[in-house]
Amino acid sequence: MKVLIPRNGHILIKRWTPEQTTSSGVIIQDDSASYNFGIVVAVHEHFKEEVYGFNIGDVVVVDSDSGTSVKWEGEVHLLVGTNDIIAVVGESE
């Protein structure tokens, strides 16, 4: 099996668009946002949680102008630098 390992401070994310539902149940997707959501699918060993706070499966927010599109395993992914990640989506306590 081939793997894609990000280098030089990059993380591979799979684009993800959160759905927003109106009170009547209509699903709205905002594709015009100035940022992208993504799910981390690959992280270089040196950029895992103990250093930068990124783990495979994390949902992150990146600037819409950031990154390089890469088609991997039939799907379009985005290679982004760790400095281009605006936030990690998490649960509040």
Whether residue 60 lies inside any domain: the answer is yes
CATH number for the domain spanning 65: value is: 2.30.33
Q: How many domains does the chain have?
A: 1
pLDDT at 22: 63
| pLDDT score of 4 | 82
Looking at residue 47, its pLDDT comes to 54
Distance (Å, whole) CA 92 – CA 57: 17
* pTM flag (> 0.85): no
Residue 63 forms part of a structural domain: yes
Domain that holds residue 79: 11-89
Closest by CA to 41, choosing from 86, 7, 4, is 4
Q: Does residue 38 belong to any structural domain of this protein?
A: yes
Residue 1 domain-assigned (yes or no): no
Measuring CA to CA, which residue among 18, 57, 54 is closest to residue 39? 57
In a domain, 59, yes or no: yes
Per-residue pLDDT of the chain (93 residues; tens, 9 = 90+): 777 888 887 888 988 877 666 666 665 666 555 568 889 888 876 555 555 677 888 889 888 888 899 888 888 889 998 888 888 887 766
Domain annotation covers residue 5: no
